Every structure is written in structure tokens, then in C-alpha cells.
Amino acid sequence: MMDPERLVRDHFSASTQAATATVEAIGDRIAHAATLAAQTLDNGGKILICGNGGSASDAQHFAAELVCRYERDRKALGAIALTADTAVLTAAGNDYDFSKIFSRQVQALGRSGDLLVAITTSGQSDNVSLAVETALELGIQVIALTGKDGGKLAPLIANKGLELRVPSAVTARIQEAHAIIIHCICDLVELHTARKLM
């Protein structure tokens, strides 16, 4: 017979283990990602963020923390979730192809000096990969939050961007680690902004 409390404890234990493995594997890269984000904003650039499903929610969460605030009052920071405009998403999906729902927005909104954050647990999403390709062509820096083996996005971004790959094959654990990574970046960017204003 299933023990619900035991199942809950198992979930928390697995999440803690995945988070610990992630910081041990890529803690330095997460800190570097925060530096790239802060430099982008310092130089007048903006952060574009994309992903599908749960990663779309993460994209909007990330943008909200930057535009509004994470922990501290400070100036608004330029971030756009490419997952939020249903008219644009459905027009691009209908008139072109679902694979182009993010790349069309990168073409329209992105400029050299901006930063694209691409979120995908598997690295296999065609629309995310095409957004990354478009960003690189436009001279936009790219950070990819991935998991599993990095999928087809890993070789696409190799030596051209920064991949933050969660060392897990379980989608839920990857999503949880992505949320922590996003919070780390927001915290470090806010601390950087506060120091600049002092």
C-alpha cells in the first residue's frame, strides 16, 4: 500500500540531491551566467527568455523577477518572456510554423548586445533551438538551461554560448533545479545593481 507521506519525503529527498549535484557540477557556470546577465543590463541590453510548457512558465517567472523585483527594491531591469504574447505566438505558429514562434520574436526584438536565455529540460525543442540559432546569427549572447544530455541544443551552443546543464534525467528534478538557477541569477543581478547604485 502506498504511503503518501513517504512519497512526499522521497520527492523532497530527490529534489535536494538533484540541487546539490547541480551546484557541484555547474555552480561556477551559474555565477558566470549571472555576470553575463548583469553586464548585458549594464550595457543597455535586454534579456529575452523562451521555453515550452513548464519552461514557458519559468521564462515568465524569470522576466517578472527582473522587471519587478526578486528580493530588493531597485530599478526595473529589461527582460521579455517570449512566451507571453498569445497573439504573436499563435500568428507565428499559424502563418509560419510552431518551430518559429520564438525565432520570429528574436528577429523582431533582439539586437546585438542583448542576451537570450533558452530554457528546455531535454534540449530537444525545435522552436528553442531555432531561437538560439537566430540569436547567434544576430550577435546575441545565449545562455541555455538544459538537462539530461543537453539534446540537440548542446552542440548548437558549444563554444558559442553558455550551457547550464542540470545533471539529471528526471524532468521534474531538472525543472526544480532550473528554478533555483533562475533565483540565483536574479539574486546576483540584484546585488550587482545595488552595489552600482551605492
Give the pLDDT confidence of 46-59 residue by residue, as tens digits: 999 999 999 999 99
Residue with cell 546543464: 165
Cα–Cα distance measured from residue 91 to residue 100, given in angstroms and rounded to the nearest whole number: 10
Cα–Cα distance measured from residue 186 to residue 157, given in angstroms and rounded to the nearest whole number: 23
Please provide the distance, in angstroms rounded to a whole number, between the alpha carbons at the two ends of the chain: 59
pLDDT score, position 197: 55
pLDDT score, position 198: 38
| CATH code of the domain in which 171 resides | 3.40.50.10490
Residuewise pLDDT in 10s, the chain (198 residues) = 779 999 999 999 999 999 999 999 999 999 999 999 999 999 999 999 999 999 999 999 999 999 999 999 999 999 999 999 999 999 999 999 999 999 999 999 999 999 999 999 999 999 999 999 999 999 999 999 999 999 999 999 999 999 999 999 999 999 999 999 999 999 999 999 988 753
- Domain of 16, in residue numbers: 4-197
- Sorted by sequence, the CB contacts under 8 Å of residue 21 that are 6+ apart come out as 167, 168
* Number of domains the chain is built from: 1
Give the pLDDT confidence of 79-105 residue by residue, as tens digits: 999 999 999 999 999 999 999 999 999
Least Cα distance to 14 among 165, 150, 176 occurs for: 176
Reported pTM: 0.96
Displacement of CA 30 from its chain's centroid (Å):
11
pLDDT score, position 194: 83
Please, what's the largest Cα pairwise distance for the chain? 59
Cα–Cα distance measured from residue 68 to residue 162, given in angstroms and rounded to the nearest whole number: 25
